[in-house]
Structure 1
Amino acid sequence: MKQLYFSFLIFAFAVPAFAQEADVVNKVPGVPKQITDPKTIRICVPSRAGIIANPPLWVVNDVLMNGDVVTNFIRPASIESIDVRKDASTTARYGTSGQNGVVIIKLKKDLQLWNLKELFKNFGIRNKNQDFPVFIDKKELVNRTDFFIVNDIVASVKVVTVNDMPSRKNKVIQVTLKPL
């Protein structure tokens, strides 16, 4: 009977310890945390609902921008430094938009942050073609005003003709990103 009781105690203490070792991201016990897509920037905060309800202000190379742009069009390898601030001086500098905190990102020295106009200029897209719909890796760019991209991620930008229907042809601007 003592052996059964002892076996039960070992089992009772071993299972919770094993469960605590499980990786939160990959759900695999004993395997270290790995980000499966290294081109994605992951921000860990105490509460996901809190960051959605009260998003911080994002500043990349002194340009104020949307957090989605930062996580989608800036590679972690392009970043020199990240500074997170939430104090009175930051609120004084950035106003009420910085009251939830400011994430300041500095890119490496040889990299540039382009808006859509600069992207078109650097890849030779003519002014008459700049009103065409923009597709980035086959996904349509919806918000053209808040778009920024780091120059090291862009492989090509060109105007292409897309056949939607046999009788109709449309031109779009196709932006292809470099693979990792």
Structure 2
Amino acid sequence: MKQLYFSFLIFAFAATASAQETDVVNKAPGIHNQAIDPKTIRICVPSRTGIIANPPLWVVNDVLMKWDIVSNYIRPASIESIDVRKDASSIALYGTSGQNGVVIIKLKKDLQLLNLNEMLKNFGISKKNRDLPVFIDKKELVNRDDFFIVKDIVESVKVVTGRNQPSGQNKVIQVALKPL
């Protein structure tokens, strides 16, 4: 019985080490010769539960953001620099919200970071239509307050009318993003 228990422990530790090794070499788990798509942003941490339970603070051009906005609406080609702070300086700059570390991203100088209202205004959407449901590449934008996007990835923004809209409403705002 002791040998069975010991064998199980060895197997568990070996599987964990293997998973960490694949993250370190930036390869997909189980695929040893194929690298991950270089167009995606990939953050590797010692433990996946660690970043979920204690997420870092994301700051893009001095604007606090959530990871899903950073990963979906800021392309790697738009980034000039990334600075990761995990020491007391992160708490000194951002208070207790920076206690799990801060990832500071600076965009290239000619790029503009827009919130939802600025984007709608820049693309000519009238004030009376700005409260309509917003769909970005056919996915509904749920949280309008925390939304930011880099202007260079937006292909078009338009108000679309018709009965067959995804939200069931007569009018929606459709945002099309440029392909990668």
Q: Same fold (TM over 0.5)?
A: yes
The one-letter code of the counterpart of 1:33 is A
Q: Which has the larger radius of gyration?
A: 1
Partner residue, 1:3: none
Task: Measure, in 2, the Cα distance between the counterparts of 1:123 and 1:163.
Answer: 24
Q: Give the Cα separation in 1 of the matches to 2:162 and 2:47.
A: 43
**Pairwise CA distance, 1:44:** 0.9
Shift of 1:34: 2.6
Tell me what 1:5 maps to.
Answer: none
SS at match of 1:174: strand
3-state SS of 1:105 partner: strand
Asked whether the 8 Å contact 1:23–1:32 carries over to 2, the reply is no
Q: Do the aligned residues in 2 keep the contact of 1:81 with 1:105 (CA within 8 Å)?
A: yes
CA distance in 1, matches of 2:56, 2:104: 10
- What is the count of residue pairs matched by the alignment? 156
How far 1:96 moved relative to its partner? 0.7
Matches within 5 A, 1:99-138: 99-138=99-138
Q: CA deviation at 1:169?
A: 5.6
Match of 1:83 in 2: 83
**CA distance in 2 between partners of 1:107 and 1:163 (Å):** 39
RMSD: 2.1
- Deviation digits for residues 141-167 of structure 1, max 9, x if unmatched? 0000000000110000000013239xx
**5+ unaligned residues in a row in structure 2: which ranges?**
1-20
- Aligned residues of 1:84 and 1:104 also touching (Cα < 8 A): yes
Determine if contact 2:80/2:106 at 8 Å carries over to the other structure.
yes
Match of 2:12 in 1: none
1:17-70 Cα shifts (integer Å, max 9, x gaps): xxx8998406334x242327x2x3111111110000000000000111111100
Deviations 1:106-141 (A, max 9, x none): 000100100001101110000000010000000000
Letter of the 2:37 partner, please give it. I
Could you say what secondary structure the match of 1:155 adopts?
A: strand
Distance 1:66 1:169 in 2: 28
> TM-score, with normalisation over the residues of structure 1?
0.80
Q: Which residue of 2 aligns with 1:58?
A: 58
* Partner Cα separation in structure 2 for residue 75 and residue 64 of structure 1: 17
Matched-pair contact (CA < 8 Å) for 2:116–2:147: yes
Q: Distance in 2 between matches of 1:75 and 1:153?
A: 8
Structure 1 residues 101 and 140: CA distance shift in structure 2, 3 A: same
Identical positions, percent? 72
Separation of aligned partners in 2, 1:83 and 1:147: 22
Q: Within 5 Å, give how 1:23-38 maps onto structure 2.
A: 24-25=27-28, 27-29=30-32, 31-35=33-37, 38=39
- State the SS of the aligned residue for 1:176: strand
Cα 1:70/1:127, change in 2 over 3 Å: same
Pair 1:41-2:44 in alignment = no
Say if 1:26 and 1:33, in contact at 8 Å, map to a contact too.
no
